[in-house]
Structure 1
Amino acid sequence: MTGSNRNRPDFTPREARRRYLDHRKTEASASSIKSWASRLKRFCDWADDQPDIETMRDLDGWKLDEWENHRRGQGVASSTLNSEMQTVKNWVEYLARIEVVDDELPEKVHVPEVPDGEESNDEMLEHGAARSLIKSYRNGPDRATANHALLELLWFTGARLGGVRALDLDDYHPGEQYVEFRHRPDTGTPLKNDSDGERAVGLPASTCVVLDEYIDRYRSDVYERGRQPFLTTARGRPGENTVRVWCYMATMPCLYQDCPHGHRRDTCEFVHVHHASKCPSSLSPHRVRTGSITWQRDQGLPAEIVAKRVNATLEVIESYYDKATERQRLERRRRPYIENLQFDPED
């Protein structure tokens, strides 16, 4: 430390976290801030239990390596550990710039590389399972419930949880058969990429029939912050965790087949709202999104079109979301152009 640092605040990890997040708010999306806050909170919780870490000046290469080993010992995925350590490195770089920690400290943060093939989790809602689930809902007693409406929206738009949750009643256009995703941070529903995430996404006619029925039969006529949410609880717009639980419940395979884990649906604790996430086969909205993107590509939609529909870059789709097999990729390349490659041997 230089002599001038004697006048700098001796931040605790939590104070340094708050300072960093406040600094980044003007240049990053709300969802990014939320992710960084969660990752750094884990570090601060760990630091609270370390008797030799009272302020950020107590950090050194050894303690940073201890944090990395702690998270690795908890069995987190390689991609998760990579993201968390990169966030810590960015945080420490900021603190070094404002002279809260030594200039050399950022270089001591190790960001592990992600092994080839482990960049993302391949778990997703498979096309066949999605088809069976939607067919079961459309032909069953739970037709047009909130769980069913959510599954239709997630699958046929490929949208993120936050995007579907943000929809208002007037964002749905049944006559033109599309939904409109809009960035409205002032009233609690930002999109991941801010205004760049705004878009209109077409829906199949059969999905619109379901959504119309949901509105007529199950949607509560509620207002929240001057708006009418599309998906509702009795009290207003559902929270993110509520939507996530609805998705877990909507993707249980026992809705259309015998339980793959040997349970009976009428006695299984996982069908309860408080335990749905513990079902080994239920899936989060992110896994439905992954499956939807793969399916849209396999149906022949060009990558550029899918990218616009789901608000992702081509690179991200190809690297993290598109889980097609090599055979499926071959079919995609072949279908539109194979006839151009044929010739008559007698010509």
Structure 2
Amino acid sequence: MTESSGRAVLVTGASSGIGRATALMLAEEGAAVALLSRSAQALAEVQAMCEARGARAVVVVADVSDRASVEAAFEEAERQLGALDGVVHSAAALAYGRFEDVPPEVFDQAVLTTLGGTANVARCALASFAASGGGSLVVLGSLLGKISTPYMSSYVTPKWGVHGLVRTLQIEARSTPGTEVSLIWPGGVDTPVYLQAGTYLKRHGRPPPPVDPPEKVARAVVEALWRPRRETSVGIANQVVVAGFRLLPAVFDVLVTPLMKAGGLSRDEAVDSPGNVLTPTPAGEAVHGRWGRHWLRPVAAAAGLAAAGAGLASSAIRSTTKRRT
């Protein structure tokens, strides 16, 4: 018997990427899963994959930016599976482009999906746990919830809000025994989101190096479900990048745009479009994207050298500060 065997978990964003990988991993471990996203077509594929692993899986179609839709999805999941032991929230949306170039309606919807969707899911999860005596909520944050980068304001903005909301929920959960809230914040991950995202740069995005497989993030999510922790970073360079952002902001600001152009944007031309921000695009949904580690080695080396330089500089600053004090 695995640790999650016999438990019921609702997973948002279950049609693609990290959410899909998490749902499949939970199914392999014997959990019953409620699969939530906007795409019934893609969810049907994931449902079949979960059932092939011997797990019970139900589809609950909802748009996380629509509170009533989320509430109805939770009610249906509980009707079919009973009380939820856990909720994993990974749904998000984004559009690449300079802030002034992203159409207001696309920017607003991306923020509503990523931040408003987190609030809607968290509200329903906490109500469900209160009724059943407890449960575990795991929210997918991002390295971009701790730093900033050009061309991604529609994602950076709500992810900073997601991190703040989760931290508040964790503090408040101290007075509600049995309720746990965890944050997972990955760096670059090989998922389809970069090609699914909107773009107003004539280029698609791509994951910045080093790139992790979605299964690595899913393992951290499942572990946090049953062994909650305040936050978990997934990505070997995350802490170095955050340190550079906080300790050397002037250096970070000089380096981040060329590094973003080199490692965060595709070379292929693309037609400007909202991508899946306004409507789902089920044909492109899968666990993996096309961004394995092999193609990014030269960029990763350059980024690693830059990060190492920033790390050494920050160490020097801290050493100098200690001597002065």
| TM-score range for the pair, normalised by the shorter chain length | under 0.3
TM-score, normalised via structure 2 length: 0.26
Q: When you count strand as a share of all residues, which structure comes out higher?
A: 2
1 or 2 for the larger relative contact order (CA 8 Å, sep ≥6)? 2
Larger Cα-atom Rg: 1
TM-score, normalised via structure 1 length: 0.25
